[in-house]
Structure 1
Amino acid sequence: MRDGQKVRLRGKGQTGPGGSSDLIVTVHVRPDPVFTREGDDLTVHVPVTVEEAALGAVITAPAPGGKIVKLRLKAGQEPGTRMRVKGRGVTTKKHTGNLYVIPQVQVPSELSEEAVEALRRFTELAHQPDVRADLLREAGV
């Protein structure tokens, strides 16, 4: 059921001279703490480590009904990329929606001096171009 959907219960309303009327019930769906819904599709944001995002990994994500799905996160996959799990969304009379898993990179809030040095060394070795250059060029800056 969708939030705001109305259900008609025939003959379950007030009784009057013409018999019982219909009762109209408006459904309000409580938001889920894990999944967001758009139509029959569900979306879940899954935290991943910097290492998993950079090197790739098999990650687990919650699915409806208390189940778990496993997905392969590609090395260097762009953060926020939607990964589709076909047929694991909301089931209706007509069809079943999809589950979309969106990996969210969790950057550590605290790093040891050794970890900071390792990241600096990684930056030197990666030879990554200016990641904001295209954005700034498009903005005319």
Structure 2
Amino acid sequence: MQDPYQLLNVDRKASQEDIKRAYRKLAKELHPDINPGNEAVEQKFKEISQAYSILGDAEKRQRFDKGEIDASGQETPFKGGFYRNHAGTKRGAKYNPFDFGEDISADDIFADLFGARNRRVRRPGANVSYTVPITFLEAAKGAKKRIKLADGKTLDVRIPPGTEDRQTLRLKGQGMPGVGGGPAGDALVEAHIQPHPFFERKGNNVHVELPVTLQEAVLGATVTVPTVHGSVSMKIPAGSNSGSTLRLKGKGIKARDGDEIGDQYVKLKVMLPERPDQELRDFIENWSRSHDYDPRRKAGLT
């Protein structure tokens, strides 16, 4: 897998804010919603999203720089065949291939193996941590993602609707094998949600900024608006201002712990033509002679 710094086109000394800006710029250009049916662009979007799941998290970035995880976010195998396991070790402790936990030492293991003790040690296996990058829409609506386990096997993980960023999903019995017949540990999968080019989540509500034309704002119109559930029609009242916010009830994200569904808030952004023609300029000039108004004074800015 390609180096995440190269994928995002950032220097290894780039700040977290620089990395975020670089990802957002690429995401807007490569997002599948903007390039429907283009498989090459979709694959590139997946690659930059994976890269951002590593570099966008300061802790994961530090671990990648140290070689503790690879470009896919998975643990790097230790030379002795053991895996670094941050979920199962003491907080802040460094990885030790002969650290079998608080209640058992390496001597206990070797003594049991060579028959120096009659007692049999039975201990659960350690938990193993993974990260999985998911898109904004996958987190909102639910999805299945495939991860590669420490033993090389693959596993399909169900991402529940309403999953939040950095939420940890527990896969029972998918961690390291137990000792002395003990049960296997669990796999702890942390979901990393990639920013969306125009959707933003706040609680269970979704916010989006919608560009509208001058005539749509002045005269009113019915326009098509994207939501996490698909596009819907929305009526813009005549005389709407830039910054006006309209609500689409029930078009947000379903709560993880209930049936409640949030709303979508659409903030209007009135846009002039890229190149206003002379007719529009003449009209505004004539209109302004008899319709003087000062919005800054009303807002207390003058």
1:98 matched to 2:273? The reply is no
Question: Which ranges of structure 1 fall in alignment gaps of 5 or more residues?
Answer: none
1:79 matched to 2:274? The reply is no
- Residue in 1 that maps onto 2:199: 35
- Residue in 1 that maps onto 2:173: 11
- Residue in 2 that maps onto 1:107: 272
The one-letter code matched in structure 1 to 2:218 is A
Distance 2:238 2:292 in 1: 15
Segments of 4+ moved more than 3 angstroms: none
The one-letter code matched in structure 1 to 2:247 is R
The one-letter code matched in structure 2 to 1:96 is I
TM-score (norm 1): 0.85
Distance 1:128 1:101 in 2: 29
- Percent identical among aligned pairs is 32
Deviation by residue 1:103-141 (Cα, 9 ceiling, x = unmatched): 11111232222221011122234x242111134xx45x5
**Tell me, what secondary structure is at the counterpart of 2:193?**
coil
Q: Cα–Cα, structure 1 residues 62 and 122, in superposed 2: closer, same or farther, change >3 Å?
A: same
Shift of 1:28: 0.5
CA RMSD of aligned residues (A): 1.8
Alignment size in residue pairs: 136
Deviation by residue 1:48-84 (Cα, 9 ceiling, x = unmatched): 111111121122211223x222222112223112211
Distance 1:128 1:64 in 2: 42
Distance 1:74 1:130 in 2: 22
The one-letter code matched in structure 2 to 1:86 is K
**Tell me, what secondary structure is at the counterpart of 1:8?**
strand
Q: Which has the higher helix share?
A: 2
Distance 1:54 1:124 in 2: 19
Question: Which ranges of structure 2 fall in alignment gaps of 5 or more residues?
Answer: 1-162
Does the 8 A contact of 2:221 with 2:237 survive in 1?
A: yes
Q: Which has the larger radius of gyration?
A: 2
**Tell me, what secondary structure is at the counterpart of 2:288?**
helix
Shift of 1:92: 3.2
Does the 8 A contact of 2:241 with 2:270 survive in 1?
A: no
Distance 1:78 1:115 in 2: 19
Distance 2:281 2:202 in 1: 41
Distance 2:244 2:277 in 1: 30
Shift of 1:47: 1.2
The one-letter code matched in structure 2 to 1:46 is L
